[in-house]
Structure 1
């Protein structure tokens, strides 16, 4: 089929495509696979609309490069065959399935929101022991109200850094925490905008549930934000970003740098506003492993009590508890450092360039499909405009010095 000059191949519609140097990068969101194309392959790819034949594509390419059409036609066929081999083309069966899915989606029923609205009205009518100020987590504006003062106090401590000066009457969303005893068992039921999330049987679990749901809701309610696992600090008007999974050392390194005077931007997740290409503040509490007490003894209570330990072995630290801490305002990412803590390792810095930098950021991004090509464009721009490194360390002070020196050089 590929050798038939009258064949009109069609590219998959879910493949993201962004210019990269003189060529392009293709990204398969479902399989998280990245493909690189040179300039001539890009010309072929962008003509795979299911209408343009191989003959027409070859004619266009040969005219552009003033090349022999018979030779170019064989090259085009080979490129398209390669696209088919790696699964970038849509088959007739897939096209039919996509059409059926679109029809089903259009005829599907919209889930009723009447019951959550009614529940929210009932919750609004209750007397609450505590109602928080307004908090902001990227695009999510919310309050927390609770019948349990202890739960409210702990959430107030953990969420304090997200407080905003927005007016009291302008809350977009609300968490409601009801506390009761049912058949002799204490229960805490958590609602978001009138919709029940879950019922738990300890105050610690209620706090942890609200914090977990905030991380989920912030993605849904931040339509222009692409999120990365990791952390970020500010250096002047630019941002230093530390992409990496949990237990890679991002939180430890970030806390140490904030203690040295760099404004704190985010930890756990880094939010990139794709509409302006800048990292934005998400200054929630810093999650530290209990093992980091040796580095930051002043941040941990001498005798753990209450709900400070919100996950086994992990503690949520108010950034304000770090001496001299300030909050960053966000900006363009100028330096990307992917840290990896390894006990006993020497401090080792490795420059990451070109496609590997894109892969590193893709590996640490999530909820990518919401933004599609907007996210891919913004991510590739960060990879191209910033300086990207991998950093292996065991000595925290030495790692901080490396980061600070790099930040001074790119400022």
Structure 2
């Protein structure tokens, strides 16, 4: 086990460590005869110079005692995962997830039976990757049981111990492996970890759609997901999930368009939109929101833009700004040589003030037109005329055509 002051690696102490609320919790546990450390993501991200929203604390003190200690000091406690030894403390809006040290007794690929321990290394050993087993105590000492610091510096995503054993404990770790590759890897690969993910991919069948979705969306939020996706393709993990290899060349061109920020749904559509299959067929692997499903379904029509016999303004008006931008972006990504006219239409679509058709059904009724299907037909005729005339005719001019 390697122990060193965190300040050895950082110029500035992380805000979460010196925060009065953090020290308050750590002090309470220490005064009760226990030790408490920050663990996992917040430690890892601090070493990378990033901030973390999730503050996780581990201690050898049992959950019932932790609850009593906190409540006696007026701290709100939520029993978020008592079956796994976890409670959440809330101080001035900040959440701290506090978990008692554990070791696995039995695992089935989805759930684990655990028992409490006072052995910090045993608790660290049940985590997935070496850099996720790092911990920091109240005095700022960093504990590294599995060369996590070295791996983090070199961008190496590596399972703790035997990769196949770690994956069989929870098959979601296959997708977590690729998500962490997308975020942290410098292309230095731990081959045993990668090979184990490919060899055990059928275990993904046991996972809920919600868990799979969270990892896929997380991966696609990374600034540079191409390495991870190429490896998912090579190991056939992506194809196992979606029944078809990802359209990597399309995504590469999409990334080269240099959009403002990562758009996971647009990227997902770029990888899987396929006119040979329906969106429902492809998306059965995931649990997406209704809005996300509708957006992806709209993306399926992107190739229709190339054959549309309409002016750009009409397409933007008919589709709406968001749908047009989505579809034109995917169309550009599908072209080996991007259409210059399409490229220029993106900036135009982003800035054009879409006009509102000035005539309503009530206007036609006020002109003594009889209610019925003829109203709808007449509105469509007037709207098309208005569009063909460059959106220039006023309401009065259109009603004169009635």
For Structure 1 versus Structure 2, the TM-score category normalised by the shorter chain is under 0.3
TM-score (normalised: structure 1): 0.25
TM-score (normalised: structure 2): 0.25
More RCO (CA 8 Å, sep 6+): 1
Find the structure with the greater CA-based Rg: 2
Identify the structure with the greater helix proportion: 2
